């Protein structure tokens, strides 16, 4: 009986919304927010989304084929803070259902085939360690070899401190990967999502042919608080936001999430000369149109990567094999 009275009283209170926007504090139903691509229906605040959801939103249905899932990190520094590094990786894997902070594969965006690399902030803050560097490298290698565009969705807290200097090396490695794509004249487009910071924003994320960001995304190398403490100066309003970066010329566009698929598809067609790339599936020789330039660049870059790859990443592509085999440079003609 008492229970009945309590329920009646509760029913008189205004119903609590299922979901409250962290930005404008207005309520909405989960289904409404989800249908709006995880963007607040009231204030357009873009919520963080994981790699799987991003892929689902960005690509044409059923076109994503994941690659290099078996590439996993080693623990070269035997790093332990409160927990060991392998324990932290295992926890992140259990939490996100992902193998690493980046998911890579082949997909089609608005009917344009491409190689896609998507980072996930939920996996150890989207930090870039050896595996992120390696998978981005392989994506670039595939894109340049197959004459496909590369699209990368970047969200990251920066370098992975558990890998120390090796994670900083990934800035150089991924920058070389961009060089590889450039030499092969494959288009490269990056989408920066909140937050994109540190070593990722300071390497491949901002080296693309076209670099766009989602509204309100925070993009910076060093956090505002640290800058403020160091310089002892008040920072301007909107510091480090996508909109401010656009004003300063660091970005090409700020694109709302609902427009991303079509806009990126347009960019890829524009950069690809207005035609859909021919992946060579229907051609007689089956080799696609990978030009000599791309092959030469791929070979050179592969040589470069050999050293950085072997000791730090356990992968699925090659057995340990003979150490430091000499690159067959003379053979390429
Ligand atoms: Zn809102």
For 99-153, what is each residue's pLDDT tens digit? Answer: 999 999 999 999 999 999 999 999 999 999 999 999 999 999 999 999 999 999 9
Rounded to the nearest angstrom, the distance between the alpha carbon of 42 and the centre of ligand 1 is 5
Phi/psi for 196 (5° steps) reads -125, 110
Q: Is 73 helix (H, G, I), strand (E, B) or coil?
A: strand
| Tokens 């919304």 sit on residue | 17
Residue 36 Cα to ligand 1 middle (Å): 12
| Secondary structure (3-state) at 2 | helix
Distance CA 124, CA 310 (A): 23
- The segment(s) of the chain belonging to CATH 3.90.226.10 are 48-279+288-314
pLDDT 10s digits, 293-313: 556 666 666 666 665 555 556
19 C-alpha vs ligand 1 centroid, how far in Å?
10
Distance 121 CA to ligand 1 centre (A): 21
The topology under which CATH files domain 48-279+288-314 is 2-enoyl-CoA Hydratase; Chain A, domain 1 (3.90.226)
> Which tokens is 45 given?
């605040």
What pTM did the predictor assign? 0.81
Look at 96-110, 175-189, 237-251, 266-280 and tell me which has the smallest mean pLDDT: 266-280
């Amino acid at each position: 009986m008492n229970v009945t009275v309590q329920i009646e009283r509760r029913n008189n209170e205004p119903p609590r919304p299922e979901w409250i926007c962290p930005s404008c504090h207005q309520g909405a139903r989960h289904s409404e927010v989800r249908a709006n691509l995880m963007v607040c229906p009231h204030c357009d605040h873009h919520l963080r989304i994981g790699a799987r959801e991003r892929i689902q939103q960005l690509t044409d249905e059923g076109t994503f084929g994941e690659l290099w899932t078996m590439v996993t990190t080693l623990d070269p520094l035997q790093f332990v803070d409160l927990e060991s590094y392998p324990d932290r990786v295992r926890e992140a894997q259990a939490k996100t259902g992902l193998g690493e902070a980046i998911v890579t594969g082949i997909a089609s965006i608005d009917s344009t085939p491409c190689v896609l690399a998507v980072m996930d902030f939920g996996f150890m803050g989207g930090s870039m360690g050896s595996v992120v560097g390696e998978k981005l490298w392989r994506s670039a290698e595939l894109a340049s070899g197959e004459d496909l565009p590369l699209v990368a969705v970047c969200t990251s807290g920066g370098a992975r401190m558990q890998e120390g200097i090796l994670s900083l090396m990934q800035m150089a490695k991924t920058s070389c990967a961009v060089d590889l794509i450039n030499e092969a004249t494959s288009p490269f487009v990056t989408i920066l999502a909140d937050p994109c910071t540190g070593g990722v924003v300071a390497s491949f994320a901002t080296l693309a042919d076209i670099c766009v960001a989602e509204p309100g995304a925070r993009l910076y190398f060093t956090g505002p608080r640290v800058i403020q403490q160091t310089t002892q100066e008040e920072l301007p309003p909107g510091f480090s936001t996508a909109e401010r970066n656009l004003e300063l010329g660091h970005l090409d566009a700020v694109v709302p999430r609902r427009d991303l698929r079509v806009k990126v598809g347009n960019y890829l067609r524009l950069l690809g000369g207005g035609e859909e790339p021919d992946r060579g599936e229907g051609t007689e020789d089956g080799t696609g149109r990978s030009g000599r330039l791309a092959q030469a660049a791929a070979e050179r870059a592969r040589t470069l990567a050999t050293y950085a790859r072997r000791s730090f990443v356990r992968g699925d592509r090659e057995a340990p094999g003979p150490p430091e085999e000499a690159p067959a440079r003379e053979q390429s003609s």
